[in-house]
């Protein structure tokens, strides 16, 4: 099995490299569209979320701007669900952060200097050099802002990556070949069963938290745990606007939940 996250930027050729690696390893590439399809399987059910057209272009951009917490829970759910299988290449969307403690994943950054990126953008987008520079700087600023505000993560922190590959030095074909070789090493392929079970529990936890957020449940007051696969424990405070039965119904509706243990207490305001 090979689970790879790639952090890259506009004009670096990261998506081309990722596609070649996916072809060479015979695994699925999760780009923005594919990962967002996975995220949508988590389903939006609350009345409040019906104001969003989930099929319209830019849905996730709008969700990130207007409801960042729900966006991040949704992306985390999708990333953990993909990781649960142990195979796949995930490009962007904070995957490196979400899977930072998952020892089975290979975290990479595909990088290139500005001159290389300008040349690629002028060629592929048929724009002038000045326009290419503007596109690069705007995209880089957006990426850095997203990583910093969402994860308090610095794009240039080398500790986040197992390897940084400069495609301007070795070319995209060689970059893909090197990543493929790394993914085939025994250390990466031999992912332990206990690690996969941990990822399965994380995946379920994020699906439950996403369902809670979609139904306007404060996950700071009501806490969810997955002590073992398929089992969800609820602790903390139940809002006076909620019933135990309603909470259980929401949690039990999440795919993969087999048993719910509710140890949450009624909120003191509910007794006034």
17-57, pLDDT tens digit by residue? 999 999 999 999 998 888 877 777 655 444 434 444 444 44
Which range, 41-50, 173-182, 232-241, is most confident?
A: 173-182
* 192 has a pLDDT exceeding 70: no
CATH of domain 217-271: 3.30.1340
Q: Average per-residue pLDDT in the chain?
A: 83
Give the pLDDT confidence score for residue 234 in this predicted structure.
92
What pLDDT band is residue 268 in, cutting at 50, 70 and 90?
A: low
What pLDDT band is residue 178 in, cutting at 50, 70 and 90?
A: very high
Residue intervals of the chain classified under CATH 3.40.50.300 are 3-189
> How big is the chain, counted in residues?
272
Give the pLDDT confidence score for residue 63 in this predicted structure.
66
Residues ≥6 apart with Cβ < 8 Å to 33: none
Lowest model confidence (mean pLDDT) among 128-142, 155-169, 181-195, 235-249 = 181-195
CATH of domain 3-189: 3.40.50.300
Of 253, 222, 226, 251, which is closest to residue 237 (Cα–Cα)? 222
What pLDDT band is residue 93 in, cutting at 50, 70 and 90?
A: confident
Give the pLDDT confidence score for residue 44 in this predicted structure.
46
- DSSP secondary structure string, 147-213? HHHHH---TT-GGG-SEEEEHHHHHHHHHHHHHHHHHTSHHHH---HHHHHHHHHHHHHHHHHHHHH
State how far the Cα of 87 lies from the Cα of 83, in Å rounded to an integer.
7
* 61 has a pLDDT exceeding 70: no
Residue intervals of the chain classified under CATH 3.30.1340 are 217-271
Give the pLDDT confidence score for residue 49 in this predicted structure.
43
* 69 has a pLDDT exceeding 80: no
Average pLDDT over residues 196-201: 77
């Amino acid at each position: 099995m090979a689970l790879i996250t790639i952090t890259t930027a506009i004009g670096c050729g990261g998506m081309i490299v990722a596609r070649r690696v996916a072809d060479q390893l015979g695994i699925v590439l999760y780009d923005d569209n594919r990962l967002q399809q996975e995220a949508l399987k988590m389903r939006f059910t609350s009345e409040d979320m019906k104001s969003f057209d989930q099929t319209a272009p830019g849905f996730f951009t709008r969700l990130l701007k207007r409801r960042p917490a729900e966006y991040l829970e949704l992306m985390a759910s999708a990333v953990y669900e993909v990781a649960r299988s142990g195979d796949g290449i995930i490009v962007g969307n904070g995957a490196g952060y979400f899977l930072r403690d998952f020892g089975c994943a290979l975290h990479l950054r595909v990088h290139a200097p500005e001159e290389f990126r300008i040349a690629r953008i002028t060629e592929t987008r048929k724009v002038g050099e000045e326009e290419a520079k503007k596109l690069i700087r705007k995209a880089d600023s957006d990426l850095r802002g997203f990583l910093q505000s969402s994860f308090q993560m610095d794009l240039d922190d080398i500790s986040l990556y197992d390897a940084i590959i400069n495609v301007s030095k070795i070319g995209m074909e060689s970059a893909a070949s090197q990543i493929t070789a790394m993914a085939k090493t025994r250390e990466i392929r031999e992912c332990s069963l206990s690690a996969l079970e941990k990822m399965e529990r994380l995946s379920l936890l994020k699906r439950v938290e996403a369902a809670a957020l979609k139904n306007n449940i404060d996950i700071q007051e009501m806490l969810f745990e997955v002590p073992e696969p398929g089992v969800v424990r609820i602790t903390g405070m139940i809002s006076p606007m909620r019933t135990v039965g309603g909470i259980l119904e929401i949690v039990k509706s999440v795919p993969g939940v087999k048993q719910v243990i509710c140890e949450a207490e009624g909120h003191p305001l509910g007794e006034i």
